[in-house]
Amino acid sequence: MCNGGKKDYYAILRKSMVNSQIKARGVTDKRVLKVLEKVPRHLFVPDDLQSEAYNDYPLPIGEGQTISQPYIVARMTELAELKGDEKVLEIGTGSGYQAAILSLLCKEVYSIEIIESLAKSAEKRLKELNYKNVFVRHGDGYLGWTEVAPFDVILITCAPPYLPDSLIRQLKVGGRIVVPMGKEYETQILTVFLKKNGELIKTEYEPVRFVPMKGKIEQSK
C-alpha cells in the first residue's frame, strides 16, 4: 500500500471509531468529535500496535502505562467544555494523545508527566507532529505548574485519592477540574469540580479505570 493509501485507511478507521464508539455512547460536542476524527492516534502508540490504535480499548505505551480508550478521551474532553481561548493543565502526559486533542480546542496546553522517558518521547512526538501550543514537563503533577498558573481547566488523566490543594489553588475562579477520582481501581468516578466564589461544586459522572496518580500525593495522606 502506498503512503497516501495508508493515510486514507487510518482516516476511515478514525471516522468509524468516532461513529461506533464515541457518538454511539452519547458524546455530542461537534468540536470534540471533529478533533477525534483528525488526530492520528496510531502515531501515539508503539509501532507494533498501530493497527489496534482505533479499537475500543486502552493500549500499553511502555513503563506499565496506557493510552486511554478513545471514548474516555472524548468524554473527558467534552466535560472540559473548551471554547478555544483557555489555558489548560494536563496531569499525566503519557503518549501525548490527550494533550494533542486538547491543543486543537484551546489556546495552550501544559502537560506534566512523572516518568521521564515518557515525558521525553511525548514531547518529541508532539513536536514532530507540529503541535506547537503543547508544553511538556517532566515532574510530579501533584505540584502543578506554578510559573504558568492559573489555569482555566485542569484535566487529570491518572487517578488521585483526593484532590491536591496545590491544583485547586492553580485553578481560576470559574474554572473546572476534570478528574477520575478514587483510591482504588474499582471505585474511581469521573468527576468535575467547578470553582465558584471560593467553593468547589462537585458533579460525579460514570465509573472509570485509570492508573493511580503517584508521586508526592502518596506520601502526604
Measured from the CB of residue 15, what is the shortest distance to ligand SAH in angstroms? 20
- In the complex with ligand SAH, the residue whose CB is nearer, 74 or 192, is 74
Grid cell for residue 42: 496510531
Grid cell for residue 76: 473527558
Picking from 91, 106, 100, the residue whose alpha carbon sits closest to that of residue 45 is 100
Measured from the CB of residue 215, what is the shortest distance to ligand SAH in angstroms? 3
Task: Catalogue the E-assigned strands of 48-170.
Answer: 59-62, 65-67, 87-91, 108-113, 134-138, 151-156
Measured from the CB of residue 76, what is the shortest distance to ligand SAH in angstroms? 9
Gyration radius (Cα) of the chain, Å: 17
Q: What are phi and psi of 190, to 5 degrees?
A: -65, 120
Q: Is 220 a catalytic residue?
A: no
Catalytic residue among 16, 68, 95, 117: 68
Contact positions toward ligand SAH, by CB under 6 A?
65-68, 91-92, 94-95, 97-98, 112-115, 118, 140-142, 157-158, 211, 213-215
CA atoms of 159 and 180, how far apart (whole Å): 5
Grid cell for residue 16: 468509524
- In the complex with ligand SAH, the residue whose CB is nearer, 88 or 91, is 91
DSSP β-bridge partners for residue 180: 190
Measured from the CB of residue 99, what is the shortest distance to ligand SAH in angstroms? 7
In angstroms, the first-to-last Cα distance of the chain is 54
- In the complex with ligand SAH, the residue whose CB is nearer, 3 or 209, is 209
- In the complex with ligand SAH, the residue whose CB is nearer, 33 or 112, is 112
Q: Report the catalytic residues.
A: 68
